[in-house]
Structure 1
Amino acid sequence: PERLVSARGCQSSCGGVDIPYPFGIGVGAGGRDCFREGFEIDCVYDGPVLANTSLRVVRLSVDPAESLVMLPVGRMCYNATDPRRAEEYSHGETLMNKHGVYRFSSARNMLVVLGCNTMGTIGSDKTARLVDGYSYYLGCMNFCNSSASAQDGQCASLGCCHVDIPPGLTHNYFRFREYDHSSMMDYSPCDYAFLVDRTNYTFRRSDLLRDTLRTSPVWLDWAIRGAGGADSASLSCAQANETKKYACLSNQSYCVDATNGPGYNCNCSEGYEGNAYLVDGCTNIDECADSDKYPCKGVCRDTEGSYRCTCPPGYGSDDPKTQRCAPKFPPAAQICIGNLRRATTSQY
């Protein structure tokens, strides 16, 4: 059967990007929203964006529960005539988390700060608000003695530094400490701070002069959470299963508590694949069609939620999934073969 990805009657892709439910675009054929609250996607002329933001969506996935988006870069550039004062400033702030479904992936992202004689930090509204309305989690600092201090491929506080981010980060607000840039305007006129996929960035000294650095690829973890994403309003699997808004709708699915923040996610049961957030969204896997992943050196037969691997009549194997089937001889034939082997051996 056709595998369900999006809600029936809803747009399933935008700009070459699949839009799986609970994500969705607009209203479907039946007049109902194509998305679960907090997961709305807008389809614009150049592709999908998170609703009511300018964050371009690169990928949406239900298993694992993650999204890849292009996040703004924070920047501070100094005045050429007064290099002790910044003339251009961008906090790279976004308001993507109105419903609290997203967390920046601490496993897949890192914070990078570029610039000479600069300190960059990132803030989040996860806890009590402090400086400028945001609590500051982390940052790092760089120095340069000369234009040759920063080296390609090195991000260890000489023009570039990076740090891991903690779980639970819900917001981005970049801030810089101003330092005198008088002696470095020709090789480091700006400071940059950004979250980025830790496998998708390698520092180059030329990055210090990249005026085009505006966005970076960032992974978001997402989960089914309560109204506004408040921890107290977000349910665990055990609690959510008793509510009318339980998200795991496929019969062949199960619930797992979220690992980055409160809430839960839904997965298809073993032997099934598809979208656990849709009724009939998880369908049987035909294991016999994928011998690399589901080995069978005998006769393969698909079953609901699993498969059988057996030997044909007259053949046997201790484990036909890993060992080839060999002919099975009746006792009389085995005695004849044994006698023949002994006779042949005695001739030599």
Structure 2
Amino acid sequence: MRMLLQVLVSVHLITIIISFVFIAQEAGASMTKPGCPEKCGNITIPYPFGMGKGCYLNRNFEITCNMSSNPPRPLLLQEVQLLQISEDYLRINDIVHHSCFNKQSGKTNSSHVPYNRTHHFSYSHTQNEFIAIGCDIFAYITEDNSKTNATGCASLCNTDEDIATDFSSSACSGIGCCRTYLQTDISRFYLKMRSINMITPIWTSQPCGLAFISERNFSIRQYFNLSSKFLERNLYFVPAVLDWSVGDVSCPEAIRRKNYACGQNTYCHNSIQGQGYKCHCSKGYQGNPYLANGCQDINECNDPDETFCLKIALCTNVPGSYSCTCPTDYHGDGKKDGTGCIRGKHPHLLSLVLSLGVGITVVPFILIATSLRLYRGLEKREKKKIKQKFFKKNGGLLLQQQISSSKESVEKTKLYSVEELEKATDGFNLSRIIGKGGLGTVYKGMLSDGSIVAIKKSNTVDEKQLDQFINEVLILSQINHRHIVKLLGCCLETEVPLLVYEYVSNGPLSHHLHDEGHVYRISWKNRLRIASEIAGALAYLHSHASTAICHRDIKSSNILLDENLRAVLSDFGLSRSIPLDKTHLTALVQGTFGYLDPDYFHSGQLTDKSDVYAFGVVLAELLTGEKAISFDRFEQGLASHFRSAMKQNHLFDILDNQVVNEGQKDDIFAVAKLTKRCLKLNGKKRPTMKQVEIDLQQLGRFQEQFSCQNSMIQEDFSQQQTCQDDCTVSERSHSYTFGPATEEIVQDIEVLFS
């Protein structure tokens, strides 16, 4: 044992000698490309950004220094004022949108303000928030490519002083000012404001409103002077934070390319946006990871107070790390968080001489073998620590606690390894993306057993989204229904959590209804069946599941279709369980604009009737083929557009041509009447999902009976037909029994078609 200790001491001595010979002293490194200007005013411009030809990576990162300002101001792409550039974010001065009510015309002058950034720059959902200031306004932003996904809030007032009151409290809680978080990083979007009640007297004295994206914890009072009519000013700028990345592909693909932007001693990290990547210095290095030799070794031994070695141990810097050597008569790793230095017995002189000789002879072999073993061991231990860290960060402990304390039987959810899911998606290759939403990106993957799955990769998780992630796992683990997506498992070892679902091959219903380039159009018969299947799934959630569940985000993009156009309900991130002894749940208003229940929006009380309203919007989409929110209509919300058409007896003017050509008028009107009842502004007057399911099933059964006839039943429902298989069908007016949600339909048919 003593001989072995002496050999180790010898190895450490030789290691120190080699380190001093081959390791250069750390030198300060510039963050700017050599030969290029380092600053504009008092702001450092690090590469890949740069000023002047050849100083930036490409045109997307070109900085112009406005020398006419004092101090000079850097501008990105000649228009965006930069306040700060860091390794992960850009802090910018961003414009404030304003909208004013014209008392004489009775209209609101509110322009469509597009915010267009390249995919290299996006508003960070973890660093920013959306704020609206004004009286009786509803402000929101919608993604440019999908106008149904929106984030917004409402600001109400009773008096002029309400704005000043909410400013002074810094709460911005909905009285004169409101704020909400972004659901995901966004590069391109429209910002809009609408008045809630334009006849309110408050609009006479405060006719304008403001809306903008700003960095979190933004001090409104600091930027807006309340002593003047600040709402009538035309231009304001507020600080906002942009996430940035380089390239157009993910890390696995980028590393294989010649134009890979990361230098030596770096690692690559995929952008949250899905396109592009980021470079970071490896552990033990610091500097600019985008320069060829920008990441320099950190000399951990420079500051004795900051080193991780014990004071009695000798600290030796090595590339990317350091080592601690205990003095003679001690053994151990010498580290504060390790085994430290343990005093041993005094060695004999002969043993010391022999061990020194042996050490000098075998040291090259031992040094190489030990170094490789230590490196692999440290790398393995570091990966394990990182996985454990992510497991805790992604709510693994909380999820385990919730499952163990759940009174209901929760199916065992499989825990996948990150390596297995990376292999299944080719390193989360962009070509594997099959959908993106407010809470994450969905990839198509193939597991080792050959099964095809859908893997949902959440956006960067904050505390709020963590609750949504855990909520989705718990709810889906308790549900077993053929029209509700099946959760197969999850992975918590990555920076963002991953959920693994059954793969539903035909994509969301919204693509089939709204994508003009879609070759196949859904028939009237299939539309009716899809509506019936989703109604059944919701009825199950509301009344047949072990505990009542409100989905809270029913929309056509959350209804998936398989190869046989079987409908499957998905995305339970916003769902909430309602105790059986309660009729409602008071909850923060969340959902998708265009589908959001106005009763829930105003009261904050969540009931199963909120899902009924959203389902009514989906029914309107199936009937009209139009989107829930559209800037091309006078009434942008499909719900109000549909109600107006029904009220004015213009239903057939807004129906999809395929519905008109294939459907029977009384069937179409039956569904339209049901849709109208689902869209009642007063939730208590809406039918239950069970009632809706029964009515749609009855319509579907009659459709099946009717399809086997050789000729069409006449419109007066009086002629009896014979089936090809010798079955008989009674007169249409007797074969369909109207349920509680469609009563009085017959007497309304003549009104519609007169």
Aligning the two structures, in what range does the TM-score lie when normalised by the shorter sequence? 0.7 to 0.9
Change in Cα spacing, 1:109 to 1:290, as seen in structure 2 (3 Å) is farther
1:239 has 2:250 as partner: no
CA contact (8 A) 2:33 2:55 kept: no
Report deviation, 1:14: 0.8
Shift in Å at residue 180 of structure 1? Answer: 2.3
Report the 3-state secondary structure (helix = DSSP H, G, I; strand = E; otherwise coil) of the residue aligned with 1:255: strand
Distance in 1, matches of 2:344 and 2:161, equals 75
Residue 295 of structure 2 is matched in structure 1 by 282
- Relative to structure 1, is the Cα distance of residues 163 and 203 closer, same or farther in structure 2, using a 3 angstrom cutoff? farther
1:67 and 2:90 are equivalent in the alignment = yes
- Of 313, 316, 320, 1:305 maps to 320
Q: What is the CA-CA distance between 1:203 and the residue it aligns to?
A: 6.4
Deviation at 1:34, TM superposition (A): 2.9
Distance 1:289 1:91, change over 3 A: farther
Alignment pair present for 1:123 and 2:149: no
* Residues 147 and 187, structure 1, Cα contact 8 Å, conserved in 2: yes
Q: CA deviation at 1:164?
A: 1.4
1:2-13 alignment, distance < 5 Å: 2-13=28-39
What SS is found at the alignment partner of 1:261? coil
Secondary structure at 2:48's aligned position in 1? Answer: coil
State the 1:86 CA deviation: 4.6
**Aligned in 2, Cα 1:310/1:318: closer, same or farther, shift over 3 Å?**
closer
C-alpha distance after superposition, 1:116-168 (max 9, x if no partner): 1111122332x25x5xxxx7622211111223445322222211111211224
| Matched residue, 1:321 | 336
Equivalent residue, structure 2, for 1:198: 216
Please say which structure displays the higher CA radius of gyration.
2
* Segment drifting more, 155-164 vs 177-186: 177-186
C-alpha spacing 1:69/1:6, structure 2 compared with 1 (3 Å)? same
Q: What is the Cα deviation at residue 312 of structure 1?
A: 3.0
Secondary structure in structure 2 of the residue aligned to 1:240: helix
**Partner Cα separation in structure 1 for residue 305 and residue 123 of structure 2:** 34
Q: How does 1:82-97 map to 2 (within 5 A)?
A: 82=104, 84-86=106-108, 93-95=114-116, 97=117
For 2:132, what is the secondary structure of its paired residue? Answer: strand
Residue 26 of structure 1: aligned partner:
52
Instruction: Measure how far apart 1:292 and its partner are.
Output: 6.0
Match for residue 60 of structure 2? 38
Partner of 1:56: 81
Structure 1 position 317, deviation (Å): 6.1
Within 2, Cα distance between the matches of 1:296 and 1:41?
44
Per the alignment, residue 284 of structure 2 pairs with 271
Q: Secondary structure at the match of 1:288?
A: coil
- Contact 1:187–1:209 (8 Å) recurs in 2: no
Residues 1:210 and 1:295: Cα distance change in structure 2 (over 3 Å): farther
Superposition TM-score, scaled by structure 1 size: 0.76
- The residue matched to 1:6 in structure 2 has which SS? coil
Is the 1:84–1:182 Cα contact (8 Å) retained in structure 2?
Answer: no
Instruction: Name which of 346, 367, 370 aligns with 1:330.
Output: 346
Whole-Å Cα distance in 1 between the matches of residues 216 and 225 of structure 2? 19
Deviation at 1:169, TM superposition (A): 0.8
Q: For 1:170-249, what aligned pairs fall within 5 Å after superposition?
A: 170-178=187-195, 179-180=197-198, 183-184=201-202, 188-201=206-219, 209-211=229-231, 214-226=236-248, 235-248=249-262
- The aligned amino acid for 1:245 is N
**Separation (CA, whole Å) in 1 of partners of 2:252 and 2:320:** 24
Taking the aligned partners of 2:260 and 2:289, their CA distance within structure 1 comes to 11
TM-score normalised to structure 2 length = 0.37
The number of residues matched between the two structures is: 306
Q: Name the counterpart of 1:145.
A: 158
Instruction: List per-residue Cα deviations over 1:53-87 (Å, max 9, x = no partner).
Output: 1x21011122xx211111101112345x6494456
Q: Is the 8 A contact 2:91 2:242 kept in 1?
A: yes
**In the aligned structure 1, how far is the partner of 2:220 from the partner of 2:306?**
34
Note if 1:156 corresponds to 2:173.
yes
Relative distance call for 1:188 and 1:83 in structure 2 (3 A) is farther
Provide the secondary structure at the position in 1 that maps to 2:86.
strand
**Aligned partners of 2:324 and 2:333 also within 8 Å:** no
Contact 2:131-2:211 at 8 Å conserved across structures:
yes
Structure with higher RCO (Cα < 8 A, 6+ apart): 1
Whichever structure has more strand as a proportion of its residues is: 1
Where does the alignment leave 5 or more consecutive residues of structure 2 unmatched? 1-26, 349-754
Q: Does structure 1 conserve the Cα–Cα contact (< 8 Å) formed by 2:309 and 2:334?
A: no
1:183-207 deviation per Cα after TM superposition (whole angstroms, max 9, x unaligned)? 2258634201011111223569975
Instruction: Quote how far apart the aligned CAs of 1:269 are.
Output: 1.0
Determine helix, strand or coil for the equivalent of 1:238. helix
Does structure 1 residue 101 correspond to structure 2 residue 120? yes
Please, which runs of 5 or more residues in structure 1 have no aligned partner? 227-234, 333-348
Distance 2:271 2:333 in 1: 41
**Residue type at the aligned position of 1:3:** A
CA contact (8 A) 1:103 1:261 kept: no
Counting helix residues as a fraction of each chain, which structure ranks higher? 2
Q: What is the CA–CA distance in structure 1 between the aligned matches of 2:176 and 2:55, rounded to whole Å?
A: 48
Q: CA deviation at 1:113?
A: 0.8
Report what 1:341 is aligned to. Answer: none
Equivalent residues of 1:121, 1:136 under 8 A apart: no
Instruction: Report if the CA contact (8 A) 1:118-1:177 is conserved.
Output: yes
CA distance in 2, matches of 1:163, 1:254: 34
**C-alpha root-mean-square deviation of aligned residues, in Å?**
3.1
Equivalent residue number for residue 494 of structure 2: none
